[in-house]
A and B are shown apart, each in its own frame.
Chain A
Amino acid sequence: MTYLKKSPWVLHYDASSCNGCDIEVLAALTPVYDLERFGIINTGNPKHADVFLVTGSVNEQNRAVLKNTYDLIPEPKVVVAIGICATSGGVFRECYNVSGGIDKVIPVDVYVPGCAARPESIIDGVVIALGILEKKRLAMLAKPSVHPEKAGDVV
């Protein structure tokens, strides 16, 4: 049975966003769109999360925080990079303190570009992410002994 798609709990992390994308993410979670209709809950706890929404480019200060938060989420999990900064670093990519897009630190499954990304495209991105989440679950079932995160390490 697949319950993952019916109950994706999201975790939102602001890497170093200007708050533009954050506001759009929260707009998508407000009662107007009422994402709880689809079982989506905005959780503040990485250990309860399935979908990791990251806004803003990653900088040298919060690389470790981002990595740690990602590691805390139990498998299977997906990462959605929201906004052009999270996707590639955007206009800040040349800054001395910016590492670039978040895929420099953690693996990203879905990129949602835009400045700021529209709530509709964010929801669209999350829906695509749910498909990937399901694939990851099946991969986990096929190889239950191997931790998906460490699957690449096995030579």
Chain B
Amino acid sequence: MISEPYLSIINAVIYLLIAPVVGGLIAGIDRKVTARMQGRIGPPILQPFYDVGKLFEKENVVVTTTQNFYVLSYFVFMAVAGALFFSGGDMLLVIFAFTLSHIFLVLGAYASFSPYSHIGAERELIQIIAYEPMIIFTAVGMYMVTHSFYVSAIVTSGIPIIIYLPGIFLGYLMVLTIKLRKSPFDLSTSHHAHQEIVKGVTTDFSGPNLAKIEVAHWYEYVFLLGVVYLFFGFNPLAAVAAIIVSYFLEVLIDNTFSRVKWQLTLKSAWLVAGTFGLVNLGVLYYLRAVVMP
């Protein structure tokens, strides 16, 4: 039997090694499903790996050298956030590292001189502001149900969290749409070919730097879907099914909605967080404090 601290370290290492592979495959399946929804054949499943391989073969054009540092920090903190999560660490610390990594991406985009890059950075900030409350509510909700912020305690609690937190889960799906850069909320940059502000937050990154952003995004995929798992932690099969269904839903939404303005993104994200999230927490508090003290 492996003791607890070693097990968490092994989990973190497995995540660091496997997550880019899984994330890349998810991205490939995403592109394939998207193509099929649009009546196309679509690229091979391994296309995201070819893209990243290609980007590493390209020249690294850097506008200001600080960009390299910011991109590396984005990559490292994204990996750290996921590793903390999968090693069963503190949810609040995970969220802190997760947000910090995105701040580094914004700083990287601001470090260049391109106005397109700056617009992308601003929009990325707006997206962070839009989804952040809901992410915090998710952690708080899980604490209220399981009395722990630790992922290891949450996942082994055996409590069907989804039954206690349906509102929080709906709100989290909204966050997922923003975080996976899906329409209607792909303001700062999108996976689709052409868009209005050149390439938003990634405009001034090229070659290996862009590849790092892409791989960090794969880490992010796995981490975000890992949070979906927590809601259904009592039954691994149901959890995997929930992950597949929610991801398919995201792709469907991506292909059926057009991009909205940033005002609507911010308003709707906060509205959903404010209603579904807060009401869910309020009801939970009421039940705990008044009905079943």
Q: Is the contact region of chain B dominated by helix, strand, or loop, or is it mixed? A: loop
Please tell me which one of the listed residues B40, B59, B193, B199 contacts residue A74 in the complex, with CB atoms under 8 A apart: B59
B22-75 residues at the A interface, CB under 8 angstroms: 31, 35, 38-44, 47, 50-51, 53-54, 56-61
Asked if A22 is at the interface of the complex by the 8 Å CB criterion, the answer is no
- Tell me the count of chain B residues lying within 8 A, CB to CB, of chain A: 32
Min CB gap B208→A, angstroms:
10
A1-25 residues at the B interface, CB under 8 angstroms: 1-4, 6-8
A37 to B198 alpha-carbon distance, docked (Å): 23
Asked if A103 is at the interface of the complex by the 8 Å CB criterion, the answer is no
CB of A47 within 8 A of CB of B193, answer no
Across-interface contacts of A37 in B (CB, < 8 A): 40-43
A72 to B63 alpha-carbon distance, docked (Å): 11
Q: Which residue of A lies closest to B49 (CB)?
A: A3
- Tell me the count of chain A residues lying within 8 A, CB to CB, of chain B: 28
Asked if B195 is at the interface of the complex by the 8 Å CB criterion, the answer is yes
CB of B193 within 8 A of CB of A43, answer yes
Q: A74-B59, A74-B207 are in contact. Are A6 and B54 (CB under 8 A)?
A: yes
Asked if A44 is at the interface of the complex by the 8 Å CB criterion, the answer is yes
A34 to B35 alpha-carbon distance, docked (Å): 9
Across-interface contacts of A2 in B (CB, < 8 A): 57
Q: A34-B35, A34-B40, A47-B203 are in contact. Are A75 and B54 (CB under 8 A)?
A: no
Q: A1-B53, A74-B60 are in contact. Are A43 and B42 (CB under 8 A)?
A: no
Q: Which residue of A lies closest to B208 (CB)?
A: A74
CB of A48 within 8 A of CB of B210, answer yes
CB of A74 within 8 A of CB of B58, answer yes
| B interface list, Cβ under 8 A from A | 31, 35, 38-44, 47, 50-51, 53-54, 56-61, 193-195, 198-199, 202-207, 210
10 A-B pairs with CB atoms under 8 Å apart are A6-B50, A7-B51, A7-B53, A34-B40, A34-B42, A36-B43, A44-B195, A47-B203, A74-B59, A74-B207
| A interface list, Cβ under 8 A from B | 1-4, 6-8, 31, 34, 36-39, 41-45, 47-48, 50, 72, 74-76, 137, 140, 147
Known A-B contacts: A47-B199, A74-B60. Give 13 more (CB < 8 A).
A3-B50, A3-B54, A36-B31, A37-B40, A37-B43, A38-B43, A39-B44, A39-B47, A39-B50, A43-B193, A44-B198, A47-B205, A137-B57
